A and B are shown apart, each in its own frame.
Chain A
Amino acid sequence: MPAPYLRRIWLDPSRVPDPEAYPFCLPFLHDDFELSFDRPITIIVGENGSGKSTLLEGIAALAGYDDAGGGKGYRPVDHSQAAEVMGGELSEALRASWLPKITKGWFFRAETFFSVARYLDAVGSTSDFLSYSHGEGFLRFFEERCQRQGIFIFDEPESALSPSRQMEFLKLMHRMEQSTICQIVMATHSPMLMAYPNARLLRLSKYGLEPVIIEQTDHYKVMREFCADPAGFVEAVIEE
């Protein structure tokens, strides 16, 4: 079966323990929250704090991945020091339809990459990810992990990638799409990654998730203004 494998998720209000408590108090998580995946690649944009990471953590937990990053069966992250992750709680109240259920794949978060890489090096992966620079290690890791069937969740993969490495990442996304056996769910602030063709681009706001085109995103509008006049743009921002 070709991707997407995860077809739909929705909130089951009867399973929400406390609607006032995080993460259920997030504005987009009202009773009728649902998200359909109609393409192999889904890209979510939204302002910091809108709940993108929590949503991705919830999806990762549904797939059986550690909600702090990793794959099924990997518990590489020392949770005592991990940033607070709420996706596990969210996933308890989410329902999902799969065609078929896939638990192979990976949940990639920039902030836990080094924990994950150290773990993989320790358990004898063929690549020595830590002997590369930050960004090179990321790309090697993606290349090794993303060639098999699975659902791959990326939370801001651009954070360690220069623009030319983001171009490499676009090529990787293309190879994954062409394979027809990879589903990608990605949150990003990078206009370059948002522009990936054939992806479903969704904006997460307090009103929920809505389809957008890149030209409508703040990310694109701001960067376009900046590129037109970098010095003038920054001066205006500072003087605000």
Chain B
Amino acid sequence: MPAPYLRRIWLEPSRIANRAAYPFCLLFLGDEFELSFDRSITIIVGENGTGKSTLLGRNRRARGL
């Protein structure tokens, strides 16, 4: 199968313990958040602090470390 392999991610609101806490308080993480990957390369741009790194999984707080 050719890429992309990850096709879609979405938020499952029932799994969120605290909506007001980081990272779920990030503006883009509304209940209906979803992201479809329709090409093999996806590029995300955004201002510092918007949550790009958290989305990619690099942020240590988001990983609970």
* B48:A160 contact, CB within 8 angstroms: yes
**What 1/0 flags go to B22-65 for Cβ under 8 Å of A?**
00000000000000000000000011111101100001110000
Distance in angstroms between the alpha carbons of A139 and B59 in the assembled complex: 17
Residue of B nearest to A161 (CB): B48
Whether a CB of chain B sits under 8 angstroms from the CB of A132 is yes
Chain A residues within 8 Å of B60, by CB: 130
* B48:A133 contact, CB within 8 angstroms: yes
* A135:B49 contact, CB within 8 angstroms: yes
Chain B residues within 8 Å of A134, by CB: 48, 53
Chain B interface extent, by class = 10 to 19
Whether a CB of chain B sits under 8 angstroms from the CB of A34 is no
Chain A interface extent, by class = 10 to 19
* B49:A136 contact, CB within 8 angstroms: yes
Distance in angstroms between the alpha carbons of A136 and B46 in the assembled complex: 13
Chain A residues within 8 Å of B53, by CB: 133-134
Chain B residues within 8 Å of A130, by CB: 60-61
Minimum C-beta distance from A157 to chain B (A): 13
Chain B residues within 8 Å of A216, by CB: none
* B48:A162 contact, CB within 8 angstroms: yes
Distance in angstroms between the alpha carbons of A165 and B47 in the assembled complex: 8
**What 1/0 flags go to B11-29 for Cβ under 8 Å of A?**
0000000000000000000
Distance in angstroms between the alpha carbons of A139 and B61 in the assembled complex: 19
* A132:B49 contact, CB within 8 angstroms: yes
Chain A residues within 8 Å of B50, by CB: 133
* A162:B47 contact, CB within 8 angstroms: yes
Distance in angstroms between the alpha carbons of A134 and B46 in the assembled complex: 13
* B48:A135 contact, CB within 8 angstroms: yes
Known: A133-B53, A134-B53. A164 touches B61 (CB 8 A): no
Interface residues of A (CB under 8 A from B): 130-136, 139, 160-162, 164-165
Interface residues of B (CB under 8 A from A): 46-51, 53-54, 59-61
